[in-house]
Amino acid sequence: MHRREFLTTATAGATLVVFPAVLRAQSKEPIRIGFPLPLTGTFAAIAADMQKGAQLAMEELNAKGGAMGRKIEVLFRDDELKPAVGAQRTKELIENQKVDFVVGGLAAHVQMAINEQTKAAKKLYISVSQSDEISAKPDTSPLTFHEALNPTITSRAMATYGMQNLGKKWWIVYADYAWGKQNNAVFTAAITKLGGTILGSTPYPLGKPEFSAHLPKIQAAKPDVIYAVTPGADNVPFLKQAISFGLKKDAKIAQPLHFLYYTKEGGAEVFQDIYGATHFCHELAETLPQAKRYVEAFTKQFKMPPDAYSGYGYNGIMEVARGVELAKSTESDAVANALRKNREYDHYKGKQWWRACDNKSFQDLWILKVRSPQQVKGEWGLFDVIGKVVANEELDRTCAEKGFA
Amino acid sequence: MSDVSLTALTAQVFTGLVLGGILVLLAIGLSLIFGLMTVVNFAHGSFYMLGAYVAFSVLGLTKSFWATLVLAPLVVGSLGFLVERFLIRRLYGRSPDDPLLLTFGLSLAMVEGVKLLWGKIGLTVDPPKQLAAAVDLGFMNFPIYRLFVIAVTAAVLVALWVFLAKTNVGLIIRAGSRDALMVRALGLNLNRVWLLVFGIGIGMAGLAGVLAGPMRGVYAEMGVEIIIDCFVVVVVGGMGSLAGAIVAGLLIGEIVSLTTFFAPRLAEIVVFVVMAVVLLVRPSGLFGEAGLAE
């Protein structure tokens, strides 16, 4: 034995004698959670918000000793909003980084690719963005959980609100990928069922925000309301172009979801009187104590209020930790069973629960309307909460409709 | 479709004009650089993107859209000078693949560099207040800003034509693109001409980015998306042909606009169909001369 090796061993030995407790805690490997999300591309701003939520959850959990006495470690990876990259990053997280669970994915098409990887590796996956297929057969699995709302719930809620309050004749503009197509289909069915008319519907390629060629036709059709399924960075250019063609004067505009950061970026002048749904906004802090705590913790940490998708990221990590504590295990099967047995949770905005058949989370949602520039409160007070849709399994397709006998 | 009136089609043709205008500004530079220097500039779209980002910053500093409209393309054009002088010039006389690979790498580096400098999240630029509204053209409401884009494109094309057709430098450029060796033999310094042409082409790409920003927003991927359409325009028009770039640019803009009207889902594909047909019928493009790239 060389002198240096001797010294190292001796020091380690001494530490073992003197600080047994410290060593024991450190020897416990952290629980590792892989988190692929599109840090670049059209959804980059939403992804940054979601990452902050997940990070806050990790820090809050670790401050209380983690789960089962083990620290939580979240490994974020950029999936570039591409299914192939999402699959590759997930595989790398599972095989090389040895993550115990996967949370993440921020697009209907990328989460399917992530889900294929977690299914193959038999790892619990909590999807935290919208998709109809992720919680339905044949794509879902007993280890696939879905924390987010989905197009069915969102578009049914918006159709009901819209038919009562906004108008009967609609035109849909939608991004031509999984989430956009699902919203188009659900919204068309819901409006028709409620006695309204879809005058037309136009697909455009996601992330290519040039709408001018679509607008004259919409203008000529004279709809009461335009339903703009123009997510992420397409949101602001769509509205600006619609306004520049004079469409906002002639028709009301609604969208499935509102995002605080895009609304702030576009400004109240552009977004004024645009309607949309959300599962969370920081204005809820005024009425919900859980939301107040979450908004304050988030704002203290990141110097800005949270946008909606931070909540999904936050809940994804919190639910993994809760499942691990309940199961006293990091085995995916055990954690999934524990979550299904203890379905209810409430981390930041009120009660939610996992439906037994499809591992789908049910939660309240709210209808928002953007304030006029004069009404905006402070830097971030852009939304008026004008309606609430209480969590209800009937808003989604039934278990039978989703392929569960 | 139910309502295919003449008014609707006129409206569609008008929107196509703007789509085409942006493509023309980009394709002309691309074609000019190729025609004279046989450099396939893959980074052209990235300079368009850079133009939009530089405009965002210049607008923040000067608070004047009009100053930005002049300054931002000059900044981007100057960067073009540097790229030609210190990177591309080293590759003259080598296989045309070398500058292609260089500019391809450059475009990747620029996208990442922009994300480092300006952030991964896209930015918004507002058109000036005077141009923000819509004007009633009788058949539709049309944004004044888009009319302005058409006007700027036309003005730049006229200026470029005057420069190439009526000035001595223009004469040298045209001669250089025909026969570089002969021009050299006459004792003219073609290095300076190439520098100038590259700078002008890049500056026009920058201008296209400045103009596009207020319509489409500013984001790092915008150049990578549009470069494909630009190559289609250049191939359809004929590599190296300026008239070809103008005609094909407007043509592609109109085709996209009209396809969007009748079958929106096909709008993405139809440009490639047009390119394939042109390549089959006239392999050198509508205005191209055969064998230019050999």
ipTM over 0.95: no
**CA A337: distance to chain centroid?**
23
CA distance A107 to A117: 16
Using a CB–CB cutoff of 8 Å, tell me whether B48 touches chain A: no
Same domain for A270 and A372? yes
DSSP 8-state assignment for residue A262: H
pLDDT bucket at A88, cuts 50 / 70 / 90? very high
The DSSP-derived string for A359-372 is -BEE--EEEEEEPP
CA distance B104 to B98: 10
**What residues of chain A lie within 8 A of the CB of B133, using their CB?**
244
Disruptive mutation site among A240, A260, A261 for chain B (greatest number of B CBs within 10 Å) = A240
* Structural domain containing residue B218: 6-281
**What residues of chain B lie within 8 A of the CB of A212, using their CB?**
15, 18-19, 146, 215, 257
CA distance A121 to A95: 9
Same domain for A143 and A185? no
pLDDT in tens, B14-33: 899 999 999 999 999 999 89
Same domain for A34 and A168? no
Token digits for B28? 């002309």
pLDDT bucket at A395, cuts 50 / 70 / 90? very high
pLDDT value of position A23: 46
How far off is chain B from A138, nearest CA to CA, in Å? Answer: 27
* Structural domain containing residue A206: 152-278+365-395
Look at residue A301 and tell me if it is in a domain: yes
* pLDDT, mean of residues A222-244: 94
CA distance B180 to A253: 58
Domain count for chain B, please give it: 1
Look at residue A19 and tell me if it is in a domain: no
**What residues of chain B lie within 8 A of the CB of A208, using their CB?**
225
Handedness of CA A363, A367, A373, A374 (dihedral sign): negative
Collapsing DSSP states into helix, strand and coil, what is residue B187? coil
pLDDT bucket at A405, cuts 50 / 70 / 90? confident
- From the list A40, A205, A237, which residue is nearest B120 (CB)? A40
Tell me the pLDDT of chain B averaged across its residues: 90
Test B11 with A216 for CB contact under 8 angstroms. Answer: yes
Q: What is the CATH number of the domain that holds B64?
A: 1.10.3470
- In the numeric block, the tokens 């789960």 are attached to A67
Test A244 with B143 for CB contact under 8 angstroms. Answer: yes
Same domain for A156 and A215? yes
CA distance B273 to B198: 30
Nearest to A334 by CA among A320, A346, A347: A320
Pairing of β A144-146 and β A124-127? parallel
Continuous segment of H or E residues that includes residue A256: strand A252-257
Measured at the CA of B158, the angle between CA B170 and CA B186, to 5 degrees, comes to: 5
Q: What is the largest CA-CA distance in chain B?
A: 65
pLDDT value of position A4: 58
Same domain for A350 and A242? no
Using a CB–CB cutoff of 8 Å, tell me whether A45 touches chain B: yes
Token digits for A3? 């002198």
Residues A7-21 as b/e (b if ≥16 CB within 10 A, e otherwise) read eeeeeeeeeeeeeee
Tell me the pLDDT of chain A averaged across its residues: 93
Rg of chain B in Å (alpha carbons): 19
pLDDT in tens, B91-134: 888 888 899 999 999 999 999 999 999 988 888 898 898 888 88
- Could you report how far apart the first and last alpha carbons of chain B are, in Å? 46
- In the numeric block, the tokens 């000019």 are attached to B32
CA distance A90 to A111: 10
Nearest to B247 by CA among B255, B235, B237: B237
Token digits for A158? 């918006």
Test A210 with B19 for CB contact under 8 angstroms. Answer: yes
Who contacts B58 (Cβ-Cβ below 8 Å, separation ≥6)? B67, B68, B71, B72, B75
pLDDT value of position B189: 85
| Phi then psi dihedrals of residue A308, to 5 deg | -60, -45
Look at residue B97 and tell me if it is in a domain: yes
CA distance B46 to B226: 9
- From the list B3, B140, B261, which residue is nearest A213 (CB)? B261
Test B146 with A212 for CB contact under 8 angstroms. Answer: yes
Look at residue B1 and tell me if it is in a domain: no
**What residues of chain A lie within 8 A of the CB of B215, using their CB?**
210, 212, 237, 240-241, 244
Which CA distances in Å does A383 have to A257, A291, A297, B139? 12, 15, 20, 36
Same domain for A65 and A126? yes
Test A209 with B217 for CB contact under 8 angstroms. Answer: yes
Test B8 with A217 for CB contact under 8 angstroms. Answer: yes
Token digits for A363? 């939660």
pLDDT value of position A66: 95
Same domain for A32 and A171? no
pLDDT in tens, B241-262: 889 999 999 999 999 999 999 9
- From the list A44, A205, A241, which residue is nearest B120 (CB)? A44
- From the list B5, B18, B121, which residue is nearest A48 (CB)? B121
List beta partners, residue B7.
none
* pLDDT, mean of residues B148-171: 94
How far off is chain A from B203, nearest CA to CA, in Å? Answer: 23
Spatial contact of B42 and B249, defined as CB atoms under 8 Å apart: no
Token digits for A237? 């250019």
Count of residues for chain B? Answer: 294
Checking phi first, is residue A246 left (phi over 0); if not, alpha (psi -120 to 50) or beta? left
Token digits for A378? 């402070």
Residue of B nearest to A269 (CA): B126
| Phi then psi dihedrals of residue B218, to 5 deg | -120, 120
Q: Which amino acid, one-letter code, is at A296?
A: E
**What residues of chain A lie within 8 A of the CB of B16, using their CB?**
213
pLDDT value of position B37: 82
CA distance A299 to A29: 31
Look at residue A4 and tell me if it is in a domain: no
Q: Looking at the predicted structure, is the pLDDT value of residue A87 above 80? A: yes
How far off is chain B from A332, nearest CA to CA, in Å? Answer: 34
Look at residue A117 and tell me if it is in a domain: yes
pLDDT bucket at B191, cuts 50 / 70 / 90? confident
Who contacts B210 (Cβ-Cβ below 8 Å, separation ≥6)? B51, B52, B54, B55, B68, B69, B72, B73
pLDDT in tens, A246-280: 899 889 999 999 999 999 989 999 999 999 999 99
pLDDT value of position A21: 47
Look at residue B106 and tell me if it is in a domain: yes
pLDDT bucket at B140, cuts 50 / 70 / 90? confident
Same domain for A134 and A47? yes
Same domain for A130 and A85? yes
Residues A319-348 as b/e (b if ≥16 CB within 10 A, e otherwise) read bbbbbbbbbebbebebbbbbbbeeeebebb
Spatial strand order in the sheet of A352-354: A344-345, A352-354, A361-362
Continuous segment of H or E residues that includes residue B112: helix B97-118
pLDDT value of position B292: 46
Disruptive mutation site among A173, A212, A265, A304 for chain B (greatest number of B CBs within 10 Å) = A212
Look at residue B292 and tell me if it is in a domain: no
Same domain for A36 and A91? yes
Domain count for chain A, please give it: 2
Look at residue B50 and tell me if it is in a domain: yes
**What residues of chain B lie within 8 A of the CB of A78, using their CB?**
none
Share of chain A above pLDDT 90, in %: 87
Look at residue B289 and tell me if it is in a domain: no
Spatial contact of B47 and B80, defined as CB atoms under 8 Å apart: yes
Q: Which A residues, 178 through 197, put their C-beta within 8 Å of a C-beta on chain B?
A: none
Q: What is the CATH number of the domain that holds A242?
A: 3.40.50.2300
Continuous segment of H or E residues that includes residue A352: strand A352-354
Same domain for A375 and A227? yes
CA distance B22 to A112: 36
Burial class (CB within 10 angstroms; exposed 0-12, middle 13-18, buried 19+) of A301: middle
- From the list A44, A214, A241, which residue is nearest B260 (CB)? A214
Using a CB–CB cutoff of 8 Å, tell me whether B215 touches chain A: yes
Checking phi first, is residue B80 left (phi over 0); if not, alpha (psi -120 to 50) or beta? alpha
Using a CB–CB cutoff of 8 Å, tell me whether A233 touches chain B: yes
Stretch among A24-33, B58-67, B277-286 having the lowest mean pLDDT: A24-33
Q: Around Cβ B277, how many Cβ atoms within 10 Å?
A: 11
Q: Looking at the predicted structure, is the pLDDT value of residue B36 above 90? A: no
Collapsing DSSP states into helix, strand and coil, what is residue A246? coil
Same domain for A261 and A324? no
* pLDDT, mean of residues A88-102: 97
CA distance B269 to A43: 24
Look at residue A95 and tell me if it is in a domain: yes
